[in-house]
Amino acid sequence: MSDPSIPLPPVEKARSPLSEAWEMFRRNHSAMAGLVILTFIVLGAIFGPMLYPTDPFDMVWAPFSPPGEEGYLLGTDYLGRDLMAQIIHGARVTLIIGLSAAIVTIVIGVTIGALAGFYRGWVEEVLMRITEFFQVLPTLLFSMVIVALFGATLPMITFAIGIVSWTAVARITRAEFLRIRELEYVTASRAAGAPSGKLMFKVILPNAAPPIIVQSALMVGSAILFEAGLSFLGLTDPNIVSWGQIIGSNRQYILESGYTVTIPGLAIFVTVLAISLVGDGLNDALNPKLRQR
């Protein structure tokens, strides 16, 4: 019989999966570094134009002034526009393109993957053939055709990137639905009379979310690179400033004034690297097998 005067050890409260995931993510130093860098870039995109209100289209000094000359920290481009203002104002457009294209990719990929993995049979066969068709298409060429036909506007560029990038999300979603649909709690929900829509989007999808979230984070970086590629080829909206547009408009002067291409290229590199580090951290944090180590 235990002595009542001896205090019992405290009972540890069960931690939620979200807190466990955050703890594992926090222990990943590279992922935290990526998160800090990405946070800084997002804050710069939001508040930078207020702190540095120079119009990125204004010709403020002589063309190709090197960084630091006449107080222009990053110099000027081929028209004499402030490159610092272009980088700051272009960050917002670049991130919006990346995020919007990733949303288009997720919506298409999750819808097709969920339907294929849940219904099986001829539905899966038809949707997977469509997925394979888009998968074998040359993505850059297909997006170039879309932009060339319908115009190089911001919504069309975003749509073109999203419509050629959804196949990986669809395959991941389908694989997760095939795995989860046979588990006991899904079978119990089906036996209780839950409709198909509820089973797909309220029962299966929340449990299939971790790998989809990881892939979605990486798609933002891929969309930013895709937009830079289209801009380098001249398929961009001349009325907006993005990092890719800065590279595209200065590409013919790369040998004369390489900084006009190198600086926005470094901005893209750092941003995509930060997104990749965060994506890798999410992959580790949301993987239950790794959390149990």
Tens-digit pLDDT profile for residues 3-48: 555 555 554 455 666 788 788 888 889 999 999 999 999 999 999 9
- pLDDT tens, residue by residue, 78-113: 889 999 999 999 999 999 999 999 999 999 999 999
Q: Is residue 55 part of a domain?
A: no
Q: Is residue 178 part of a domain?
A: yes
Nearest to 243 by CA among 222, 221, 266: 266
Average pLDDT of every residue of the chain: 86
- The pLDDT assigned to 136 comes to 87
Q: Helical H runs in the chain? A: 17-27, 29-51, 83-119, 121-136, 139-150, 154-163, 167-180, 184-191, 196-198, 205-232, 243-250, 259-285, 288-291
How many C-beta neighbours within 10 Å does residue 109 have?
Answer: 26
Q: Is residue 261 part of a domain?
A: yes
Average confidence (pLDDT) over 207-231: 87
- Between these two residues, 7 and 133, which has the higher pLDDT value? 133
Q: Is residue 69 part of a domain?
A: no
259-285 and 83-119 helices, crossing angle to 10°: 40
Q: Is residue 137 part of a domain?
A: yes
Q: Is residue 1 part of a domain?
A: no
The single residue listed with the structure tokens 């690179």 is: 225
The single residue listed with the structure tokens 């470094």 is: 266
Q: How far apart are CA 56 and CA 240, in angstroms?
A: 9
Domain count, the chain: 1
Average confidence (pLDDT) over 181-203: 84
How many C-beta neighbours within 10 Å does residue 89 have?
Answer: 23
Distances (CA, A) of 111 to 1, 85, 101, 108, 222: 60, 40, 16, 5, 20
Phi, psi of 258 (to 5 degrees): -65, -25
Q: Is residue 62 part of a domain?
A: no
Host domain of residue 198: 19-48+74-291
pTM for this model (two decimals):
0.86
- The pLDDT assigned to 1 comes to 46
Q: How far apart are CA 278 and CA 37, in angstroms?
A: 10
Q: CB within 8 A of 164, min separation 6: which ones?
A: 134, 137, 139, 142, 143
Q: How many residues does the chain have?
A: 293
Q: Is residue 249 part of a domain?
A: yes
Distances (CA, A) of 278 to 94, 180, 271: 18, 26, 11
CATH number for the domain that contains residue 244: 1.10.3720.10
Amino acid present at 51? L
